[in-house]
Amino acid sequence: MSETPDMRLQALGLTLPETPVPVANYVPFRRDGATVYLSGQGPRKPGGGYHVGKVGDTVAIEDAYAHARSTGLQLLAVMKAAAGGDLGRVEVVKLFGMVNAAPDFADHPKVINGCSDLLVEVLGERGRHARSAIGMGSLPNGMTVEIEAIIRLVD
């Protein structure tokens, strides 16, 4: 029996959070055939709220990497919901990572690697994806990162 994404999560000591509930007029994901578009997610704190600040100013790259990784867990929770509870059906096509960055910050890919690395650890080759990582002057609620994804469901 091959190792499933759920088994990999368990081996990593990770638990998926509850699927985030939208706070405005949108849905967590939208399906078009086998393609699923996931709404942007941010780095939630365990007790509520978001990790906030400017990467390259008040937030270190290592901390922002961890924030992107935790955002990846939220995306995985949404992917699992979109796939009817089976992460084994998920193939990540594209990530769009946004970093709330200081004006002179230039290491956006190092931050978004937190999410990319997690997706490959959990989904294996189906977690490899195309990606953009860009800096923003601000993000909703002042959060450090926001990441959205496009996935494909396979049988």
pLDDT for position 20 = 78
* Mean predicted confidence (pLDDT) in 125-151: 97
Evaluate if residue 23 carries a pLDDT over 90: no
Tens digits of residue pLDDT in 28-75: 999 999 999 999 999 999 888 999 999 999 999 999 999 999 999 999
CATH 2.130.10.10 fits 5-153, yes or no: no
* Mean predicted confidence (pLDDT) in 111-131: 98
3-state secondary structure the chain: CCCCHHHHHHHCCCCCCCCCCCCCCCCCEEEECCEEEEEEECCECCCCCECECCECCCECHHHHHHHHHHHHHHHHHHHHHHCCCCHHHEEEEEEEEEEEECCCCCCHHHHHHHHHHHHHHHHHHHHCCEEEEEEECCCHHHECEEEEEEEEECC
Evaluate if residue 1 carries a pLDDT over 80: no
